[in-house]
A and B are shown apart, each in its own frame.
Chain A
Amino acid sequence: MALHRLSFRLRATVCHVRTLHTSGWGQQQEAVAVESEPEPFSVFRTQETDPACQSEKHLGQFYTLPSAHFRPLFPHGLPYRYQQQVKTFNEACFMVRPPALEVISYLKKADYSKPALRYLFYGVKGSGKTMSLCHAVHFCYTQGWVVLHIPDAHLWVKNCKELLPSSYNSARFDQPLQATTWLRNFRTTNEHLLSQGISRVKSSSDVVGALMKDLRLQSSQPGADFRLVVAVDGVNALWGRSTIKKENKSAVDLEELTLIHNLKKLMKNDWTGGAIITTLSQTGSLYTPKSAYLPQELLGETGFDSMDPFIPVSVPNYSEKEFESAYLYYLDRKWLQHPQSRTEDGKKELSFLSSKNPSMLDRICGFL
Chain B
Amino acid sequence: MESTAKKRRCSFNKDWETTYHWVKPVQGDSQRVFCEVCQSSFSVSHGAPERSGREFGSRKPRREEGEPRTEKMPLDQDWTAVYPAATPFRAGSVPLPVRMGYPMKGGVPPEKKGNLELIKIPNFLHLTPAAIKKHCEALKPFCTEWPSALDTDAKCDEHFPIKVECTDYVSSGLSVRNPSARIVQLKVKLSILNLDDHARKKMLKLVGERYCKDTDVLTITTDSCPLRQQNYDYAQYLLTVLYHESWKTEAWEAEKTVADMEEYSWEGSPSQKNIMDMLLRMKVAGEGEGEEVQEQLLARSEVQEYKDSVTRLKNEGDNESSVLQYKEAVKKVFNL
Point out residues on A near B: beta carbons under 8 Å: 106, 109-110, 114-115, 117, 122, 269-270, 294-297, 305-306, 308-314
Say whether B320 contacts A309, CB under 8 Å.
no
Say whether B318 contacts A114, CB under 8 Å.
no
Beta-carbon nearest neighbor of B331 in chain A: A311
Picked from B269, B271, B319, B326, the residue with its CB within 8 Å of the CB of A312 is: B326
Asked whether A312 and B323 contact (CB < 8 A) given A115-B281, A296-B313, A305-B270, the answer is: yes
The SS class assigned to the A binding surface is mixed
Picked from A106, A109, A296, A305, the residue with its CB within 8 Å of the CB of B274 is: A305
Q: How many contacts between A and B, using CB within 8 angstroms?
A: 55
Q: How far is the CA of A270 from the CA of B314 in the complex (A)?
A: 24
B residues in contact with A269, CB < 8 Å:
278
A residues in contact with B323, CB < 8 Å:
122, 294-295, 312, 314
Q: Does B306 contact A (CB under 8 A)?
A: yes
Q: How far is the CA of A110 from the CA of B333 in the complex (A)?
A: 12
Beta-carbon nearest neighbor of A301 in chain B: B314
Residues 297-320 (chain B) with a chain A CB within 8 angstroms? 306, 310, 313-314, 317-320
Say whether B336 contacts A110, CB under 8 Å.
yes
Other A-B pairs beyond A294-B319, A305-B274, A308-B275, 17, CB < 8 Å: A106-B336, A110-B336, A117-B334, A269-B278, A270-B281, A294-B318, A294-B320, A296-B313, A296-B314, A296-B318, A297-B318, A306-B270, A308-B270, A308-B274, A309-B271, A309-B330, A312-B327
Picked from B271, B281, B318, B324, the residue with its CB within 8 Å of the CB of A308 is: B271
The SS class assigned to the B binding surface is helix
Say whether A314 contacts B310, CB under 8 Å.
no
Interface centre among A114, A117, A269, A313 (most CB of B within 10 A): A114
Quote the shortest CB–CB distance from A181 to chain B (angstroms): 33
Q: Does B139 contact A (CB under 8 A)?
A: no
Beta-carbon nearest neighbor of B319 in chain A: A294
A residues in contact with B275, CB < 8 Å:
308-309
Say whether A109 contacts B281, CB under 8 Å.
no
A residues in contact with B281, CB < 8 Å:
114-115, 270
Say whether B274 contacts A309, CB under 8 Å.
yes
27 contacts between A and B (CB under 8 A): A106-B336, A109-B336, A114-B281, A114-B282, A114-B334, A115-B281, A122-B323, A270-B281, A294-B319, A294-B320, A295-B323, A296-B313, A297-B318, A305-B269, A305-B274, A308-B270, A308-B274, A308-B310, A309-B275, A309-B278, A309-B330, A310-B330, A311-B327, A311-B334, A311-B336, A314-B320, A314-B324
Quote the shortest CB–CB distance from B317 to chain A (angstroms): 7
Lowest 8 A-B CB distances belong to which pairs?
Answer: A294-B318, A305-B270, A296-B318, A114-B282, A309-B330, A308-B271, A308-B274, A312-B327
